[in-house]
Amino acid sequence: MQVGLMINTQFPEGTNVVDRIPEIVTQVKAARDAGFKSLWFPHHWLTYPMQMLQIAPVMGYIAAHAQGMTIGPNILVLPPLNPMHVAEEAATLDVLTNGNYILGLGLGYRQQEFDAFGIPLSERAPRFNEAIGLMKRLWTEDKITHKGRFYTVNDAGIGLKPVRPGGPPLYIGGSSEVAVRRAARIGDAWIIVNSNGLSHSEPLMKTYRAALTEYGRTATDFPIMVECYVGANNATAHEECRESLQYKYAAYAAWGFEGRKIDANFEDYGRDKFIIGDKVKVKEEIARYNEILGTNHFVMRCQWPGLPVERTLDSIKRLGEIFA
């Protein structure tokens, strides 16, 4: 099993974000020194009042500090974007990381984002499917002609090709049967986001594995993104991260993501969704998730808006010790 770090690029209103950038670099270096294998970045637009760094420039900035670690979006909202632009940026990031870039992609869900781009939410899936095929051609062919329902390229090609033959691996997010079957059909991995809990993720993993067999495809990486806090004391760990996680999930709810507001008891809400505790408890939970889902790549989000960076660094260090 391997561990990755989900980088927090979101900050409460009023935060001086300039002062937070060195803290992000410090977390990256701490994760690298602790044996983390990957770095992942969230993506949204129009997040007011929450402040959020945009994904492409921050990945390029962090790539200089990754030093062999894999980096990628978790996940890039693809349908509002032109796939030619995404393919060009992905090729550049693959070169900057010497072939250590993974392109994590998803449909998106926020009406405000799609309205701002002038893209109907109802077109998410067909745009996504067409974009994937177009990007793969741009990465592997010199010049192409593509006349699709949504996108057109006339006898042109991207000059800078990815380092990896065929382009960066595509990790597909989603939390429905249709989404995981899509991941099996056109992706290299399905990224589980466990915010709906193990009871939701377990049957979807079965669907995903069955779909891989149906489509005659194989996967070697089974990643899961989990909110994770490793405290020094199991009895106080939940209280130490509660306020920041509640802020984060209140923002999700305000963005229209159903079931994300923490109205119930925090510890009860997080059961089978978050991994929180001391090293002993967290190690037990990681083993349990692995047994139930077969996940072998844990992408841990250890910081949320407002959490002191010292607590995040302690969590990173303790996770490194767990996975050592």
Domain limits, the chain: 2-323
Judge contact between 109 and 256, C-beta under 8 A: yes
What's the confidence (pLDDT) of residue 250? 82
pTM: 0.94
Q: How are beta strands 144-147 and 152-156 bridged, if at all?
A: antiparallel
Lowest-pLDDT choice from 187-191, 194-198, 266-270: 266-270
Lowest-pLDDT choice from 160-164, 172-176, 184-188, 267-271: 267-271
Cα 312 to the chain's mean position, in Å? 18
Angstrom distance (rounded) from CA 232 to CA 78: 39
Judge contact between 34 and 315, C-beta under 8 A: no
Angstrom distance (rounded) from CA 253 to CA 267: 18
Which pLDDT tens digit goes with each residue over 60-81? 999 999 999 999 999 999 999 9
Give the mean pLDDT of 214-231. 97
Q: Which of 101, 305, 202 is nearest to 192 (CA)?
A: 202
Give the mean pLDDT of 89-95. 98
What's the confidence (pLDDT) of residue 15? 94
What's the confidence (pLDDT) of residue 253? 73
- Geometric angle at alpha carbon 102, from 149 and 288, rounded to 5°: 115
Which fold, 2-323? TIM Barrel (3.20.20)
What's the confidence (pLDDT) of residue 195? 85
Give the distance between the most distant pair of CA atoms in the chain: 63
The pLDDT-based confidence of 99 (bands split at 50, 70, 90) is very high
Indicate whether 266 pLDDT > 90: no
What's the confidence (pLDDT) of residue 251? 78
